[in-house]
Amino acid sequence: MHATLHLLTRTDFPRIERRAIETLQLNLGYRCNQSCVHCHVNAGPNRKEEMTGETIDAAIDFLAASPAITAIDLTGGAPELNPHFRRLVIAARARGLRVIDRCNLTILEEPGHEDLAAFLAAHGVEIVASLPCYQEENVDKQRGAGVFEASLKGLRRLNALGYARANSGLTLNLVYNPQGASLPPAQAALEADYKRYLGGRYGIVFNRLFTLANMPIQRFGSMLISKGQFNAYMTTLRDAHRDENLEQVMCRSLISVDWQGYLYDCDFNQQLGLALTDGSRPRLHLTDATVALLEGLPIRVAEHCYGCTAGQGSSCGGALENETAPAPSCGNARLSI
């Protein structure tokens, strides 16, 4: 089930302590309209796993009992494919929560979802959108033929609704993943390149670029193993580890929930089956837990955690540091407009 699990669980990664929980990250299911080679959840059109209405209700109840949580982070798969997605967004916004939608952009052009962008804008949903390069060849290589053009259509639709426009209050951030077994380049410099290229050539604007390291698990981990690159990539991550990044890793203030409602320290632990446990149960469910209980539990670490602390560091909000990273590049693309 987890091809890389036995390679990752024995580790000397430093112990880290949880702080106050601010974000509840919900994986609404593994169904997606794309199948990307870097996908750490192995999502795709044929996946059937999906969070039920009952589990959505449990999440809403958990949030109601957890006033210290200020944000929900909706992921997948394509989280918007879950039939309860909009109900969850409305309930969260009614409580004044920040809502983050991890959107692949192409879902905005899928039949039956033509009004999705307008819904997100109407409810002030923050969009974090995957666009692993600013050039067509590299995006389509990583995500499938035609994805770049469909992504541009989605971005234009969001910009037309006010996303990333001055004083709109609508946030649109993009996400970069490396093309292969390498660390992301410097986030700030690459963001400048993205803005110059997408703005100059296509008239597209966005707020921030997040650079994320590829995690050696699920589809990407299996690819590394098949190419004989797994050990070399882990050496790259370990050699680039920086202790100062430990202060800002996402698991300190985030709890991840899988499509069945079980709890994890992060989305990566979720994909490895490293569930949160209180010692009496092998894994905790939303209906078993309170914030007070979770904040007292240790964070489970393994070798893949070096992916969050290597180089600039990497979290759901992008790089943790910006000073030490390779020069910016987008795959093998050259920046020209």
Q: Which DSSP string corresponds to 73-116?
A: EEESSSGGGSTTHHHHHHHHHHTT-EEEEEE-SGGGGSTT-TTH
At 39 the pLDDT is 57
Percentage of the chain modeled with pLDDT above 70: 88
Q: Which DSSP string corresponds to 179-248?
A: SSSS----HHHHHHHHHHHHHHHH----S-EEE-PPPSSHHHHHHHHHTT-HHHHHHHHHHTB-GGGGGG
Over residues 110-148, the pLDDT tens digits come to 899 999 999 999 999 999 998 988 888 887 777 667 888
Sign of CA dihedral 112, 117, 118, 119: positive
What is the rounded distance in angstroms from the CA atom of residue 54 to the CA atom of residue 27? 14
Task: Give whichever of 72-76, 142-146, 220-224, 277-281 has the largest mean pLDDT.
Answer: 72-76
pLDDT band at 182 (very low <50, low <70, confident <90, very high): confident
Sign of CA dihedral 208, 88, 289, 43: negative
Average per-residue pLDDT for the chain: 88
The DSSP bridge partners found for residue 99 are 72
Model confidence at 97: pLDDT above 80: yes
Model confidence at 96: pLDDT above 60: yes
pLDDT band at 336 (very low <50, low <70, confident <90, very high): very low
- Nearest one of 14, 71, 54 to 245, comparing CA atoms: 14
Token couple for 142:
């990583």
Percentage of the chain modeled with pLDDT above 90: 64
Lowest-confidence region among 29-33, 62-66, 196-200:
29-33
Domains defined for the chain, CATH in brackets? 5-309 (3.20.20.70)
| Distances 160 to 133, 154, 208, 209 between C-alpha atoms, Å | 22, 10, 18, 19
At 33 the pLDDT is 72
**Cβ-based neighbours of 335, under 8 Å, separated by 6 or more:** 134, 193, 196, 197
Q: Mean per-residue pLDDT for 63-80? A: 95
DSSP three-state, residue 153:
helix
Token couple for 163:
């996303």
pLDDT band at 334 (very low <50, low <70, confident <90, very high): very low
At 332 the pLDDT is 41
Please tell me the number of Cα atoms within 13 Å of 144 on its side-chain side: 13
pLDDT band at 301 (very low <50, low <70, confident <90, very high): very high
Q: Mean per-residue pLDDT for 286-313? A: 92
pLDDT band at 337 (very low <50, low <70, confident <90, very high): very low
Model confidence at 35: pLDDT above 70: no
At 330 the pLDDT is 62
Looking at per-residue pLDDT, the higher value among 57 and 48 belongs to 57
End-to-end CA distance of the chain: 45
At 223 the pLDDT is 84
pLDDT band at 201 (very low <50, low <70, confident <90, very high): very high
